[in-house]
Structure 1
Amino acid sequence: MKLLYLFIPLAFLLSLNTYAQDGREISGTVQDSTGATLPGTTVQLLTGADSTTVITNAKGGFVFNPVKVNQFSLVVRSIGYQAIKRRFILNADNKAVTLAPIVLKTETYMLNTVTIADVNPVKLKEDTVEFNADAYKVRDNAPVEDVLKKLPGVDVDKDGNVTAQGKNVTKVRVNGKDFFGGDLKTATKNLPADIVQNIQIIDDYGDQANLTGVKTGEPDKVLNITIKQSKNYGYFGQASVGGGKDAIPGIASDKEGNRFVAQANVFSFNGDRQLAFLGNLNNTNTNLFSFGGGGPRGGGPGGPPGGRNSSSANGITTARSFGFNYRDSWGKKITAYGSYSFADNSVFTSNNTIQNNLSPANPSTSTQNSSQNDENLNHRFNFNIEYKPDTVNYIKITPTFAYAKVNSTQNGNSSLVNNAETISNYDFNTLSNSSEPNYGANILFNHRFNGHGRNFSANVGAGSYSINKYQNPVYTYIEGAANAPLNQFINTNSRTDSIGTTLSFLQPISKRGYLELHYAYHYAHTTADKLTDTLADNGNREQYDLLSNNYTSSFITNRFGLNYRFIEKKYNYTLGVVAQPSVLRGQSSMAGTSTNISMFNFAPNARFIYNFSRNQSLSLNYNGSSSQPTYTELQPVTDFSNASYPVQGNPDLKPEFNNNLSIRYNKFNFESGNVFFSNFSFTKTDNKIVANTINYPKVYAPDSKLAGSILTQYLNADGYYSASGFYVFAKPWEKRKYNLFFIGNVSYNNNVSYISNVAADTYQMTTEKNIAKNLVLSQGVRFRVSIADVIDAEASTSYSINKSNNSISQANINNNFRMLNLGLNGKNYVWKNWTLSYDYSKVLYYGYTGATNPNILNTYIERRFLKQNIGTLRLSAMDVFNQNTGYTSTQSGSYVTQTNSNRLGRYYLLTFTLKLQKFAGKRPAMGGPGGPPPGGGPGGPPPF
């Protein structure tokens, strides 16, 4: 049998050589009725019982070589055009023939009887990359996530997070409308792939930009999923239930060692009306929704990393969640859509952290071991009403509400060592709870004048965001001075009310030129009250005025812009200028300080798009924007909720101003199927808010509270910049049965910080500026095999470097972390209804203290049964080798950390899944109300 496999390709090559000896070359072009060529068109040559198929190149050309017969037929098909079949009779000689151009007519209705031999997998538009889902085959009832994993330039990690062209995808839409408020995983993990027509990756500049066509600022990456018209009438439902056991009962926080899962989803499509219900209950680290957090920027740069990652990767999560999504047309002029999501999750996390603190005179190392239990409660509601009373007016109203509540308990040990001397060593136990209501509304109005291209739009929004937080940190000192109060009761109440408006007027000044006047106003008012009590020796609670404060701040920006947009067939550009005055006012009643800072920033604005062809494009974008300090960074009071790393705000901080440049180049080759995506971005920040970490000696007479601690303060500094780049090259064979991917990422940050040292004898402070140049580099290779109903597998490897060089040299700090990742994952389909799935990864860590090199294998065997395979029984074994551990590193201008977190270990799970679906196949009526299309194209302003 092995010899047979060797002779087959040899015989094939010999047959090609023989065939070429007596054939002729047949070539031609395909174009539309306007004379424009049609690349990506399918041309099939029929000679009796034989056929050959090619795809036209970038110029619409095709070649068949050799053709041995004199009579043949050509069948020509292109999406959006009527398919045709033509008969040709040639002379009896063997000379090459160039056929007259073949002209296709625009298709005005769907041809249900046409079967397309191959599809055009990729379309490039100005701000959109569109993938035809039929070109990336997956098995019946597979989720959309399985299709995403095959798309070039798109990456899906083990937690379901999606990146596209090197950037995080932040929102998902279905048929151009937000789905579950844009929550990505609700669609990618639950929608069945076989109802999807295409998947779009969009650089979205917002609704107002899509209406006017003038796009400035930094876009969001948005995923838009388009449902097949034949699937717009019907329903799909799936329910799963399962149970299992840990391999070693009693691991992590689950004393019984039992695993369970119960989930259900129902999708109903009835033309414009779309309903979705989702529910999930499990303790297998599967989160149904991703609730984003607002508010301040997490922990300060002087202490351990801020927010804990709540994804299923770290910790043990018990998730309870459900949600509802609605979309419908209320008559011919109104479209309404919205969702409600709820989650009640319990999370247990244990962390071991080593942090090396930079200091020219007193370098120190802290270690912290902790365990934490969180109870997270989340509600999220959003709704959208789009009203289009006529052909020239459009109104969109969007109310939103979110509520988050967290109850946490944390305990552990922390120690700080300086030159082999223990500065502090203490146990801590912290109880905290917080609630964060967040609500607002937005109104968008657009009016298109009767004149060609003249347009006016107004966007008004208002909102309120609050944090009500209680903390009770209790410290038990084992060694070293007790600097922080041993028992604190900290109540923090902050509220930010904001209102803003954006006005845009677009005026055509030539056949292809437009002038836009742009004005934006934003006002944010923050009140932050912090009250700290301590437990006195007599057992009474007493207010600690030095750690308490009432602080208010207001941040006002006015943004004036003038843009000129020019549109040609192959290119368009926008040139403009922006002037942005801003005022930051703050006042601390207890500290007796006030702030009044006025800034004026002036920056050009530029955007250039060049479409070399339908399959090759280049874009450049530059913009400037400002950001205000958080109240934590402004509030002039010391926070001792972390005894070793207190934080103190600076009321004299100025707002940051960012200058952003991005370049993107995409190319798709119709003939070979090769795909190349790349992007580059650069950011330079003026008045960057940076940390000044002050290292205090073990004994500090002027203020004993600071003795032995590392205090973080904030300053403004220039000199910060960052750059990042990404590329992916995909090479397919045999209609994408085999794919080779080369993927690379690089980022470089020139971080700025200040490091101060207080002398132990004189208490004098010296300060040095530190420049931390951080390089993160990753290169990966993947090879995927995808043969329908046989195998769908991918082998991958990647090597990554995280390295930092500091202008302040530290011999005791390792700043070179590297990882080698090896992986093999896939599914083998055997005996028609059996599936064997495997996901193996091997990680080799270099530079991490005490790191192991885990082998992670997740596998399952699955059997489909019942009529139409609606039932599935699956036996899973997760983390077969019981080595699931996670290591991460963080580097800044003040410290280098590495963290080891617990993850869900080995367990077995048996699940039963029932899937029901029925689609009428009725074609919905064309047209209907709607808002601005996702991503607008280069055709110019007003997309009405």
Structure 2
Amino acid sequence: MKSFSIIICVLAVWLSASNVVAQTGKTVQGMLRDNESRVVAGASVQLEGDKDTLGTSTSPAGIFTFNNVKSDKFTIKVSSLGFEPFARQFSFSPGQDKMTIPSFQLQGIANMLEEVIVDGVITVQVKGDTIEYATKDLKLREGALAEDALKRLQGVEVDKDGNVTAQGEQITRVRVNGRDYFGGDVKTATQNLPADIINKMQVIDDYGDMANLTGNKTGDAEKVLNIEIDPDKNNGYTSMLRVGYGTDDRYQATASIMAMRDKMQLSVLGNLNNINAPLFDFNTQGGGARRRQGGGGRRGGGGMFGGGNGITNTGSLGINYRQDISDKLTVYGSYSFGHDDNDALSSSLNKFIYPDSILDRNSTSNTNTIGNSHRFDANFEWKPSERDFIKVSPQIGYGRTTTVSENFNENLLNSELYNTESNYLDGVSKSPNMGVSALYNRRLNDKGRNIFFNMNISSSGTKQDQDRIIETIVGDPNNSDMTVDSLYRQTIAEMDNKSWNGGASVSYLEPVSQFGKIELSYDYNVNTYDNNRSQDAFNADGSVLDDSRYIFDRMYDYSFSTHRFGANYNYDNDKVRYAVGLSAQPTILNGDALVDGNAIDIHRNGFNLIPIARFEYKFSRQKNLQVNYSGRANEPSVTQIQPFTDNSNPTNIVTGNPDLDAEFQHNVRFRFNSSDFQTGKTFFMILNGTFTQDKIVSNNLRYSDSELGVVQETNYLNEDGAFNLRGFYHYGRSFKNKVYSLNFMGRASYNNNPSYTEGDLNKAQNWNLMQGLMFRYLPSENLEINPGVQYSWDHTFNTLNERSVVMRSWAPNLVGSVNITPTIIFGTDVSKTFYQGNAYDDNPFIINAYVEKRFLKGQRGTLRVQAFDLLNEQTNISRTVSDIQISDTRTNRLGRYFMLLFTYRLAKFAGGIAPQEERGPGGMRRPRM
């Protein structure tokens, strides 16, 4: 067995509790219910008196509390979407310092209060920007994970790779009890948290910290999943241990524990395997949106693995901690470590279409990549008073990657062999980063006057050392069997790129009417870059290769700063929400470069006017329309703006253009939602249009070199006319209390991308269409059948050469499981892909299957035999089409293996009852009394 060891020397978490400052004044407490005696959570409640103007919202139990009340007489005002406004006066009796108000009964507005009730239990509630699902009564097997619960929710989809979408948009962040879990990493939460400790799942349109604090929602929302732990499970622990071994020395060892006690929460996760199952995603900070290639099932929780390109040995360890130190101070954060050792084999067929010729480049590569990643994030939330809120969030990360690769390229010009190139690379890359962000919000009064401050500072860097050996053999175009010349060169390169970012903003809100506010804002942001690159070159005998194309020493430093002044008017009531305004953004770019001893100075000023426009109309809680416009300026990248030619790869050189203007994107977004959870209907539609002024495009050149063969050069310029249109829809319908579910989804996009080829304008016009159909049969926890099919069509037309490229694919699939006996389960995952138009003939047929036996008290033990890729056809095929290039790529993936897995779960909560013991035979949940 190929093995490695991971040693983490010290992981210590220590937090001390602080005393709560005693409250002074009087206390008022009450509860809100609707006209059917159900609690109303999240309602806005105000207390107004001659000495007080206080505000709060009701808890999940419908309770509101006011402390430090100074007035003897006061009015309680209640407002909540879907209910009639409510107001009533109260007064303290002489000597009374605490008042408990009898439950208020709110009257619902017709067609506004939307809930699904099954057997007296609310299963779905729509609360403004939040859709809340109760999960206790879902049909789930013993040992199910949060991901399995998500698959049962109306309007929520989980694809084969574990990516989660809700109402047609991807979930980009996960929280547990309102706080980020492992930095918000989606799959870490959904594929490791057990479903039986979850009380509710909330899909939230999150507009950021400022909107959450002030209620002023502008810009585009981020889809966030918040997982609420069952209050009955908030005092105890749940743990899992899984070990497995299989053919071809495949192994897996996974352990987790989640402990909760009152206001403390601790999770520890560990993972060691060679079946392509990483635990954390270090590709983005803070768990942002990410997409992965997949093909074997989920990563984390006990399904079958194998997704991801190549073969990967991985080891991971992480800890997530949260502590409510007092009513005013909360601390939470996480540390994650990951080690990956990946071997990937790939081949690609690339066709470059020029006006007078066609270049075919056939490539093969063998790459080993070893990476170590560390990530630490923390959050400190402090409420020094009822009106003040402070949050400080430091982050630290570090990554180190070593890469050894061997590549072979074969170039054919007009179908004749022109040259071959062997390329060996041995490189090391280090990437440290750190930063801190902070915000302060001050509520100046209870009518909406507010001031908000935000700041951030961060630094990051990449340092690379590369040792590359390139050997080129140039052929005679007139005689493919004759070698004209060969060139050996070894290059040793160093690259050190550092960046620093700092910014601060202030926003002031002033109410001008009952529903209207004016916002004034200022934002300053600066980015500085320090880029250095040098390279030496040698002949085969070790002597210096005296050629300026391969020996260079370059330095390029620049800074880009922006000031943004904005003003907008916001209107928000129960039915209509809109914002209109304008912001002005002057920009400054300063830079200097030292290229082989020559100094170059760069200075450029810019100015952008950015409109602000947003409109939302709520027909009901489950039916609304949103239209949003946003504008954004994008500065050129370092490569695009560099004032020199980068010929570190002499057969594919890049020349920057320091005179490039920033491109400006206009984005219009239309979203319509019309669902009826009571009847099991969901419909979502999204249309997006992006129009780009001064689009930064490439100019592709090709020429012949007597030593190097075919050389391609890229430079950059600005061009108008770039736009893309995208649309997505989802329609779902369930029948007989979700026993049967039918889902249709489709996507269409059109892209018009201008570029230049040898100075001539080309427009790559691309159509992409997708239509999918999924059916689910779920009569009980003991049987589930999910057949589906997806069809994709991709067409690209290039105006310069008047060529069309078409690719189609059909992908039927079937996922199902059945209880053969109450404790024996069989499951399978079958998929077949038919490609048409791809250069490769592979049409992989993937069959995964398992048989599982549950035993021990409460079915805590599980023994599973699983088979992955029974036909041994696992591979990844992809096509990329750009302005002049068509690239078909095939990459190896983990192939057929069989594995025996043992899983043991143990849970204990207050009262000593484990969740497994609340179930009947076969893992079926017993009805709650």
Q: When the two structures are superposed, what TM-score results if normalisation uses the length of structure 1?
A: 0.79
The one of 731, 734, 749 aligned to 1:732: 734
The one of 695, 710, 722 aligned to 2:712: 710
For residues 475-530 of structure 1, the C-alpha deviation after alignment (integer angstroms, 9 at most, x for no partner) is 12233488997211111100011100121000001111100001111100001000
Q: CA deviation at 1:177?
A: 0.7
Q: Tell me the equivalent position of 1:435.
A: 430
| 2:921 pairs with 1:918 | no
Q: Tell me the equivalent position of 1:937.
A: none
| 2:288 pairs with 1:283 | no
The residue type equivalent to 2:499 in the other structure is T
Relative to structure 1, the CA distance from residue 158 to residue 483 in structure 2 (aligned partners, 3 Å threshold; closer, same or farther) is farther
| 2:858 pairs with 1:904 | no
Q: CA deviation at 1:655?
A: 2.0
Q: Tell me the equivalent position of 1:802.
A: 794
Q: Tell me the equivalent position of 1:647.
A: 654
The one of 248, 253, 262 aligned to 1:262: 253
Relative to structure 1, the CA distance from residue 266 to residue 243 in structure 2 (aligned partners, 3 Å threshold; closer, same or farther) is same
For residues 679-727 of structure 1, the C-alpha deviation after alignment (integer angstroms, 9 at most, x for no partner) is 111111222222111111354xxxx66x511112222222111221111
The residue type equivalent to 1:696 in the other structure is Y
The one of 191, 213, 216 aligned to 1:214: 216
Q: How many residues align?
A: 784
Q: CA deviation at 1:185?
A: 1.2
Q: CA deviation at 1:667?
A: 2.0
Q: CA deviation at 1:473?
A: 2.1
The residue type equivalent to 2:840 in the other structure is G
The residue type equivalent to 1:283 in the other structure is N
Relative to structure 1, the CA distance from residue 744 to residue 132 in structure 2 (aligned partners, 3 Å threshold; closer, same or farther) is farther
| 2:472 pairs with 1:465 | no
Q: Map 1:107-506 onto structure 2 (within 5 A).
A: 117=119, 119-134=121-136, 136-245=138-247, 257-293=248-284, 312-480=307-475, 486-506=489-509
Q: CA deviation at 1:319?
A: 0.7
Q: CA deviation at 1:148?
A: 2.1
Give the match's secondary structure for 1:389. strand
Q: Is the 8 A contact 1:230 1:922 kept in 2?
A: no
The one of 783, 796, 801 aligned to 1:791: 783
Q: Is the 8 A contact 2:472 2:487 kept in 1?
A: no
Larger mean Cα displacement after TM superposition, 123-132 or 349-358: 123-132
Give the match's secondary structure for 1:784. strand
Q: CA deviation at 1:144?
A: 0.8
Relative to structure 1, the CA distance from residue 124 to residue 358 in structure 2 (aligned partners, 3 Å threshold; closer, same or farther) is farther
For residues 436-460 of structure 1, the C-alpha deviation after alignment (integer angstroms, 9 at most, x for no partner) is 0010000110000125100000100
Q: Is the 8 A contact 1:362 1:695 kept in 2?
A: no
The residue type equivalent to 2:342 in the other structure is V
Q: Tell me the equivalent position of 1:549.
A: 554
Q: CA deviation at 1:639?
A: 3.6
The one of 499, 507, 510 aligned to 2:510: 507
Q: Tell me the equivalent position of 1:865.
A: 855
Relative to structure 1, the CA distance from residue 743 to residue 226 in structure 2 (aligned partners, 3 Å threshold; closer, same or farther) is same
The residue type equivalent to 2:700 in the other structure is T
Q: Is the 8 A contact 1:198 1:226 kept in 2?
A: yes
| 2:884 pairs with 1:877 | no
Q: Is the 8 A contact 1:267 1:276 kept in 2?
A: yes
Relative to structure 1, the CA distance from residue 578 to residue 483 in structure 2 (aligned partners, 3 Å threshold; closer, same or farther) is farther
Q: Is the 8 A contact 2:471 2:487 kept in 1?
A: no
Relative to structure 1, the CA distance from residue 837 to residue 557 in structure 2 (aligned partners, 3 Å threshold; closer, same or farther) is same
Greater share of strand? 2
Q: Is the 8 A contact 1:363 1:810 kept in 2?
A: no
Q: Is the 8 A contact 1:144 1:189 kept in 2?
A: yes
Q: Distance in 2 between matches of 1:153 and 1:363?
A: 47
Q: Distance in 2 between matches of 1:669 and 1:715?
A: 50
Q: Is the 8 A contact 2:306 2:893 kept in 1?
A: no
Q: Tell me the equivalent position of 2:526.
A: 523
For residues 793-846 of structure 1, the C-alpha deviation after alignment (integer angstroms, 9 at most, x for no partner) is 2000010012111111255xx621111000000211121111111000010001
Q: Distance in 2 between matches of 1:125 and 1:805?
A: 46
Q: CA deviation at 1:201?
A: 2.6
Structure 1: tracts of 5 or more residues without a match: 1-30, 39-78, 82-102, 108-114, 246-256, 295-308, 757-766, 924-944
Q: Distance in 2 between matches of 1:647 and 1:902?
A: 30
Q: Distance in 2 between matches of 1:260 and 1:824?
A: 27
Relative to structure 1, the CA distance from residue 216 to residue 472 in structure 2 (aligned partners, 3 Å threshold; closer, same or farther) is farther
RMSD between aligned residues: 2.8
The residue type equivalent to 1:827 in the other structure is S
Q: Tell me the equivalent position of 1:593.
A: 600
The one of 833, 838, 843 aligned to 2:828: 838
Q: CA deviation at 1:136?
A: 4.0
Q: Which has the higher contact order (CA 8 A, sep 6+)?
A: 1
Q: Distance in 1 between matches of 2:897 and 2:362?
A: 31
Relative to structure 1, the CA distance from residue 543 to residue 611 in structure 2 (aligned partners, 3 Å threshold; closer, same or farther) is farther
Q: Tell me the equivalent position of 1:534.
A: 537
The residue type equivalent to 1:507 in the other structure is E
Q: Distance in 2 between matches of 1:904 and 1:640?
A: 36
Larger mean Cα displacement after TM superposition, 145-154 or 657-666: 145-154
Q: Distance in 2 between matches of 1:515 and 1:879?
A: 59
Larger mean Cα displacement after TM superposition, 354-363 or 144-153: 144-153
Give the match's secondary structure for 1:775. strand
The residue type equivalent to 1:788 in the other structure is S
Identity %: 37
Larger mean Cα displacement after TM superposition, 559-568 or 714-723: 714-723
The residue type equivalent to 1:475 in the other structure is I
Q: CA deviation at 1:531?
A: 0.3
Q: Tell me the equivalent position of 2:619.
A: 612
Q: Distance in 2 between matches of 1:376 and 1:420?
A: 40
Q: Distance in 2 between matches of 1:669 and 1:312?
A: 36
Q: Is the 8 A contact 1:131 1:151 kept in 2?
A: yes
Larger mean Cα displacement after TM superposition, 190-199 or 283-292: 190-199
Q: Is the 8 A contact 2:37 2:105 kept in 1?
A: no
The one of 554, 569, 578 aligned to 1:573: 578
For residues 612-632 of structure 1, the C-alpha deviation after alignment (integer angstroms, 9 at most, x for no partner) is 112211112111112222212
Relative to structure 1, the CA distance from residue 711 to residue 372 in structure 2 (aligned partners, 3 Å threshold; closer, same or farther) is same
Q: Distance in 2 between matches of 1:164 and 1:548?
A: 50
| 2:786 pairs with 1:779 | no
The residue type equivalent to 1:526 in the other structure is Y
Relative to structure 1, the CA distance from residue 270 to residue 37 in structure 2 (aligned partners, 3 Å threshold; closer, same or farther) is closer
Q: Is the 8 A contact 1:165 1:727 kept in 2?
A: no
Q: Is the 8 A contact 1:124 1:616 kept in 2?
A: no
